[in-house]
Structure 1
Amino acid sequence: MAKIKIRNTNETITGVEQVKAFLNSQNILYEHWDIGKLPDSLRENFALNEADTRQLLAVYDEEIRDLAKRRGYLIWDVIALSDATPNLEELLKKFEQVHTHTEDEVRAITAGNGIFIIKGSGDMGYIDVEVTAGDVISVPENTPHFFTLMEDRKIVAIRLFIEKEGWIAHPFSDPEFA
């Protein structure tokens, strides 16, 4: 279940409903999908083959299509990151820089965990949103943010897009970021 830390105040927010309400106040979509639906072969599997990926997408087909219909997403895929991922350090350097996109950044976490660092509204400053299996988050377009892995460096996520080619990171320089 997601956990939020507001960097300016050190306040922590936990609990599905509290997290959802806070993120909603920041125009960030948060949902929680039933991770119990996953077969054992996909739990904690961070080296997915094509059959695993198809199975994962099939398990959550109803949830994916519902979210896509509500939010206008047209395509989806799966990303798996771990120490076994080729060029992991290069990928992380790309992810770990504050940036924006011209469409939402949507992730449905199915295994592992990570942190989205997102610029809050007004004078909120940056917030850390720790996501774990079952958490679904959509960082709105043009919202400064970045993503990083937790210490165990493992995550699997379903990604949804309007246009995969349109999902390009645009660097965002912000003196407030700390």
Structure 2
Amino acid sequence: MSVLVAVLRVGETPPIGAGMRPRFEAHLYGGGLPRFVGYRVDDGPRLVRLSGTYAPAFSESPAFPVTDLLLAVPECRALSAIAQRLDTLSTKAEANYGRDFTAMVFSTDVEWGSDGYGRLFEARSQLEAHPFEGEVSLTLTPGATADQRTALRANLDRIRGSTRVFTEADGDETP
């Protein structure tokens, strides 16, 4: 049985006095092959599951688990200062290779050399080089491995926007 080891939330931080309004949540399940399950957050709020799963290579240097999730969900891409460029790259990938960033991340292999990898690599670089208008919060539970913790935190450090990390042991780690 898999165990939930991390929850990643992406959304907008409203004015003081209110909490974060997530647009997207991704839950990382551990086990034989750790993988993210993604959800859009609809009005209600209600979690609507995205089809497929994402198994990032946490041991890669650098790893892109957060960046890939932001690129996979159009509502999250919209929070980037260069959202239009990212959408264009996703549309070009779909036109040329039959799969957009959502399909690349949640349905298929995005290894180096795979169809459309160049567009995804460019989009990763662009997203991390420009301001991100939303907030990314990450909750790490004791089930998260050292590789997962290191990769997720390093990826958050490359995102040019508000980020927070929560852990069970010490609460909110970053303002």
TM-score interval, smaller chain? under 0.3
- Larger relative contact order (CA 8 Å, sep ≥ 6): 1
TM-score, scaled relative to structure 2: 0.28
Structure whose residues are more often helix by fraction: 2
TM-score, scaled relative to structure 1: 0.27
